[in-house]
Structure 1
């Protein structure tokens, strides 16, 4: 069940991030899922490094904090990819 939640929330996070960055039309659902899941890992790593990774509720995959972290990480990932390609 947790894997399905990762896919759903990853897709939503990737889709929202792609709309914010302006890449919405070109990635498709698989691209949104990949960017969202990688963005969640990246966002979690960043928040851990700056010292806010241990916030209450952040460990639950369905928390608003986790979702915001995933969207933020996906935005940063898309900005980096846009700069490289």
Structure 2
């Protein structure tokens, strides 16, 4: 992966993690934490969304939406585990 691709990858992860934290209210993990949540969320969405037949368009906006959905799912699961 070239440096520009890595930068875009990290930026999408940070935006997705931040958006998921805003949507889930109270789940802020800082910049590094948000990047990790966004990247793991993109992976989660990559597994879950195709399994239920959901397809999101390509491009950067589609990638951010995709990663945000996965990050929200991830934060929801983390919230359930913390309460349990």
TM-score normalised according to structure 1 size: 0.81
| Counterpart for residue 15 of structure 1 | 18
Q: How far is the alpha carbon of 1:49 from its aligned partner?
A: 1.3
Other-structure match for 1:82: 79
Match of residue 63 from structure 2: 66
Q: Which runs of 5+ in 1 are unaligned?
A: none
Measure how far apart 1:21 and its partner are: 0.4
Normalising by structure 2, we get a TM-score of 0.82
Q: Which runs of 5+ in 2 are unaligned?
A: none
Count of matched residue positions in the alignment of Structure 1 and Structure 2: 79
